[in-house]
Structure 1
Amino acid sequence: MRYVIIGGVAAGMSAAMEIIRTDQSADVTVLERGKDYSYGQCGLPYVINGVIPSVEDVIARNVETFRDKYAINAKTNTKVTNIDAEEQIVSGIHTETKERFTASYDRLLIASGSDPIFPDWEGINLEGIHTLKTLVDTKGIMKDVSDDIKHVTIVGGGYIGLEMAESFKTLGKEVTLIQRGKQLANIFDLDMAELIHEEAKKNGIELILGESVEGFTGETRVESVVTDKQTYQTDLVLVAIGVRPNTRFLNDTGIHMNKQGAIHVNAYMQTSIENIYAAGDCATHYHIIKQLDDHIPLGTTSNKQGRIAGANMAGNALTFKGIVGTSIVKFFDLTLGRTGITEKEAKHLNLSYKMQTIKANSHAGYYPGGEILHIKLLYHKETNQLLGGQVIGKKGVDKRVDVLAIALYNQMSIYELLDLDLAYAPPYNGVWDPIQQMARKVKR
């Protein structure tokens, strides 16, 4: 059986490894448009500020390991430009030699990931303007951030923007963060995002909200950022306004995609075309709470979907159960966690909901060292089913978010949180966990 995989990072290599475990006679070819395989993109901001010593440290397995140890035909610098679904042939170009190539498949996985959004703003191609997605991007930023760079401007207040604001500040740079909307971290509600704004200002981040970038000025290198209201002098720019699925090469294939360009897949990771599968950032992700196909590109989901796609391609039927929208990020002294849906999303979905908030100690109040947790829970007005949670604080955020994620996955009611047998000792928790304290406040 000939398996071809487009993409050699999270989903692609999770699938490749699952295929060779399941089908001992598998002929696996991976077509990666870059030169790096199987690395942790989420670790890149911490490489730039030196918390992680080297880019090599975020590589799980290099290309030689896949070739020599697992007999995978792992190719690099091979950009796919076309798929002939009828003949089952993939074609493209070798980006270094400019030579054309073809690869025949019995089963194909599209795991082409996503690309940073890089608008056609005036001056966008000036030196000193970066995005962050790959090891090459990381090395480029590290090479550019010399002692001569005093001021950095970040365009975009999502997770990458926040992580990189901290990273650049750690390197001793002045940082301005520009966000088009009225809040950072749009995956949180505004009342919770205010805590993030306070943390940014406390750490010396110049926060510019409600302004849209229109372009950049400079002779050969960027010197300023121009918005619809002002001009800001700067020495380096990071554009971090989101990503889009890398699927434009599929436009003539007939594969069903959503309006963002994410490939529609079923629970078996099958696309609308026979023998073609998709997984990861380029695919849709079924959201258990929303009960619809969503697109929330995260490494955890990519690895899960890749494994499931590989198993199904090799004949072992597994299904992807879905996501609940869980994510977490470190921002200076705060941890920002969320799962399920926000008030904004509930309103967009026309869901009838109630909301509960609390400020609670991260562990028993009489034990020293506790920190305040800010928690917000949403639940359905009629059924009391838990819909989502947002948790921000210095300690114990990850524990609460993970508990809520499991509750959401199992579609529990807010009252059922009271029945959970959660770990308790004064250094770690109170006899009633903060999320249980919230549930106790909800009248039956």
Structure 2
Amino acid sequence: MKKKKLVVIGGDAAGMSAASKVRREQPDFEIIVFEKSEYTSYSACGIPYFISGKVENLEELIVRSPEKFIEKYNIKAKTLHEVLEVDTDNNKVLVHNYNDKTQFWESYDALLIATGGKAFCPEVKNHTADGIFGIQTLNSGKKVDAFITKHQPKKAVIVGGGYIGLEMAEALILKGIEVTIIDRAKEVMATLDPDMGKKVHEVLVELGVTIFNSESLSYFEEKEGKVTAVVTDKKTIKADMVILGMGTAPNTSFLAKSKIKLSDRKAIKVNRYQQTNVKNVWAAGDCAETKNLVSNKPFYIALGTVANKTGLVAGTNIAGGTLKFPGVVATAVCKICVYEIARTGLLESECVAFKIDFVSTIIKSKTRAHYYPEAKDIFVKLIAEKGTGKLLGGQIIGEEDAAKRIDVLATALTSKLTLQNIIDLDLSYAPPVSPVWDPVQTAARKLINRI
């Protein structure tokens, strides 16, 4: 009897989670993974920490090598192999082998697309100049590190004030590089409401970062092939290097000739089992659409947590199981030097777009009992539905434990709790770790008065 063949496009979080799950459940499957880069199963989220020097070796970010996958799991992980086209009519993919520069067609019985996202780079003048970097793969991290070592840049401009932009700002500050951020939004961190983004802005300025908001990239200046300045619609900023932190787009352009349906944002449309509209084709990770559990609407988000979970769901179902992925509440956190910045649920702008009648509040509290040494300030914003008091979203900024507390709110959103439910939660208390009223409960108490 012919072995069933699974082809996986993409060898990182979602792809290798799925492939490993299929192997555990189906020992007889033939599993082939095509990965464009030279690495498999790595932590892209760790790249800024490698560049900063907090992680000494790039290899520490690699969970399993291609050699380990074939040796331990009998999964053929072929690196430096890029899939250029998917023929869904004939169940095959066109592969380019960068090792010998050949192309070939590979057939499949089941196909998983896990190509992730790609750093957005507008094709403005001189966008290919040396010294301009998107941060997406380990190779990009290696290139940035090598560039800094070789050229010793003094001034860096980061285009975009999102997670990557802010984490790279920290990395470059720790390298002794002067950092400027430009962002077309009113405030940095567009995943926060502007009033909380303003607090992040203040934190960055305190750390020595120069920020120009409400400015759009026009083009780059270069000399002898190397970037020398970033030109916005308002000014010219000298730069020895540039980091693109303008967001992530689904890496799906190679599907143009297939019959696989995409969303307006070009993410692959899937059902709760991670199946596409084409039989025997699944998708998972940053290339696929998901569902927002708060708005109950289709949603796109690029996060390692979601990639691993959707990869596990896809792998379970490819192997013959029936596992569903429920969706997300869009929880994310980043750390900028000593500050933690966290968010979950909907923003005020999203509530307006979905025509949800809401109220919100921001409170300033302490991370520990006020009398306990080294208690830090923490800011908590809650958004709730007017009338019902159902929690809709939360944002937290603080020097410690913002991440811990955002998980409480993420759990509350997933369980559809109200402000009163949050007030009633039996949260832990001891002077070294929390005030007697935890800051999220203090915020809930203040907001419930407006319901």
Residue type of the partner of 1:354? V
Deviation at 1:206, TM superposition (A): 1.2
**Aligned counterparts of 2:270 and 2:182: Cα–Cα separation in 1:** 35
Q: Are 2:316 and 1:294 aligned? A: no
Q: Are 2:188 and 1:152 aligned? A: no
Residue type of the partner of 2:80? N
Q: Which residue, out of 266, 270, 292, partners 1:265?
A: 270
**Aligned counterparts of 1:297 and 1:27: Cα–Cα separation in 2:** 29
Residue type of the partner of 1:69? K
Query: What corresponds to 1:203 in structure 2?
Result: 207
**Aligned counterparts of 1:344 and 1:283: Cα–Cα separation in 2:** 24
Query: What corresponds to 1:339 in structure 2?
Result: 344
Residue type of the partner of 1:80? V
Q: Are 2:15 and 1:12 aligned? A: yes
Residue type of the partner of 2:191? I
Q: Which residue, out of 173, 191, 203, partners 1:169?
A: 173
Deviation at 1:92, TM superposition (A): 2.0
**Aligned counterparts of 1:218 and 1:74: Cα–Cα separation in 2:** 39
Runs of 4+ in 1 over 6 A off after TM superposition: none
Deviation at 1:121, TM superposition (A): 0.8
RMSD: 1.2
Q: Is the 8 A contact 1:199 1:332 kept in 2?
A: no
Q: Is the 8 A contact 1:337 1:390 kept in 2?
A: yes
The aligned runs of 1:88-99 (5 Å cut-off) are: 88-99=91-102
Query: What corresponds to 1:64 in structure 2?
Result: 67
Query: What corresponds to 1:215 in structure 2?
Result: 219
Q: Are 2:417 and 1:417 aligned? A: no
Identity %: 40
**Would the alpha carbon gap of residues 226 and 106 (structure 1) be closer, same or farther in structure 2, given more than 3 Å must change?**
same
Instruction: Give the TM-score normalised by structure 2.
Output: 0.96
The aligned runs of 1:376-395 (5 Å cut-off) are: 376-395=381-400
Equivalent pairs, count: 444
Deviation at 1:148, TM superposition (A): 3.5
The aligned runs of 1:282-361 (5 Å cut-off) are: 282-361=287-366
Query: What corresponds to 1:277 in structure 2?
Result: 282
The aligned runs of 1:91-130 (5 Å cut-off) are: 91-130=94-133
**Aligned counterparts of 2:235 and 2:374: Cα–Cα separation in 1:** 44
Q: Is the 8 A contact 2:88 2:259 kept in 1?
A: no
Residue type of the partner of 2:342? G
Q: Which residues of structure 2 form unaligned runs of 5+?
A: none
Larger CA deviation: 301-310 vs 31-40: 31-40
Q: Is the 8 A contact 1:22 1:316 kept in 2?
A: no
SS in 2 for 1:172: coil
Q: Which residue, out of 82, 86, 105, partners 2:85?
A: 82
**Aligned counterparts of 2:215 and 2:327: Cα–Cα separation in 1:** 36
Query: What corresponds to 2:182 in structure 1?
Result: 178
Instruction: Give the TM-score normalised by structure 1.
Output: 0.98
Q: Is the 8 A contact 2:13 2:285 kept in 1?
A: yes
Deviation at 1:297, TM superposition (A): 0.5
Q: Are 2:238 and 1:233 aligned? A: yes
Query: What corresponds to 2:380 in structure 1?
Result: 375
Residue type of the partner of 2:377? I
Q: Is the 8 A contact 2:292 2:330 kept in 1?
A: yes
Residue type of the partner of 2:175? L
SS in 1 for 2:227: coil
Q: Is the 8 A contact 1:45 1:163 kept in 2?
A: yes
**Aligned counterparts of 1:277 and 1:382: Cα–Cα separation in 2:** 41
Q: Is the 8 A contact 1:201 1:207 kept in 2?
A: yes
Deviation at 1:419, TM superposition (A): 2.1
